[in-house]
A and B are shown apart, each in its own frame.
Chain A
Amino acid sequence: MIRRTLLVLSLLVLLLMPFLNSCDSGGLQQLINWAKLWAIVHDITDADGAPNAGAITRFAAGDAFGFGTTGDEEGDAAIDAARVLDNLRKAEDAADQGWKELYKGSNIKEYVLPHYNQAIGLRPDDWSYRNERGIAYLEDINNPDNAKLAKADFDKAAALAKKSGKPVEYLRMLKEREQAMARLVQHSKEQSAYPTGDTYNEQSRTYDELYKLTNDNTYLLLKQQADTNIKEGYYWQRDNTK
Chain B
Amino acid sequence: MTKKTSDNIIPTKGKARKSRGCLIVLLIVVIILAVGAIIIFRVPEKIGLVKSPAEKLYTQPNDAEKAAIVMESFQAAGLNTQGVEVYVMPVAGTDHNTALIVLDASKGFSFNSSGITDPIDDFIAVAVQAQQQGINRAAVTYYDEKGKELLTVTVPTGDVVAYSQGGLTDRQLMENVDIGAGSLIGLINEFRTQFK
Which residues does A use to contact B, with CB under 8 Å?
1-5, 7-9, 11-12, 15-16, 19-20, 22-23, 25-28, 30-32, 34, 37-38, 41-42, 64-66, 68, 70, 73-86, 88-89, 92, 123, 125-129, 161, 164-166, 169, 172, 176
Q: Is B3 an interface residue (CB 8 A)?
A: no
In the complex, which residues of chain B have a beta carbon less than 8 angstroms from the beta carbon of A176?
61, 64
Rounded to whole angstroms, the CA-CA distance of A126 and B60 in the bound complex is 5
Interchain CB contact under 8 A, B179 and A27: no
Q: Is B177 an interface residue (CB 8 A)?
A: yes
Q: Is B114 an interface residue (CB 8 A)?
A: yes
Q: A19-B196, A27-B116, A28-B111 are in contact. Are A5 and B178 (CB under 8 A)?
A: yes
Q: How many A-B residue pairs have CB under 8 A?
A: 184
Min CB distance, A11 to chain B, in Å?
A: 7
In the complex, which residues of chain B have a beta carbon less than 8 angstroms from the beta carbon of A41?
171, 174-175
Q: A66-B42, A164-B90 are in contact. Are A16 and B195 (CB under 8 A)?
A: yes
Across the interface, A166 reaches (CB within 8 A) one of B90, B117, B174, B184, namely B90
In the complex, which residues of chain B have a beta carbon less than 8 angstroms from the beta carbon of A42?
174-175
Tell me the nearest residue of chain A to B116, going by C-beta. Answer: A27
Across the interface, B149 reaches (CB within 8 A) one of A19, A23, A82, A127, namely A82
In the complex, which residues of chain A have a beta carbon less than 8 angstroms from the beta carbon of B191?
12, 16, 19
Chain B residues numbered 156-196 whose CB sits less than 8 Å from any CB in chain A: 156, 170-171, 174-175, 177-182, 184, 187-188, 191-192, 194-196
Tell me the nearest residue of chain B to A173, going by C-beta. Answer: B61
Rounded to whole angstroms, the CA-CA distance of A98 and B39 in the bound complex is 38
Q: A37-B170, A41-B174, A65-B39 are in contact. Are A1 and B117 (CB under 8 A)?
A: no
**Known interface pairs A5-B179, A80-B152, A126-B60; 9 further A-B residue pairs with C-beta atoms within 8 A, sorted by A's residue number:** A8-B179, A12-B188, A30-B116, A31-B111, A82-B149, A82-B182, A83-B52, A85-B141, A125-B59
Rounded to whole angstroms, the CA-CA distance of A75 and B158 in the bound complex is 13
Across the interface, B184 reaches (CB within 8 A) one of A4, A31, A89, namely A4
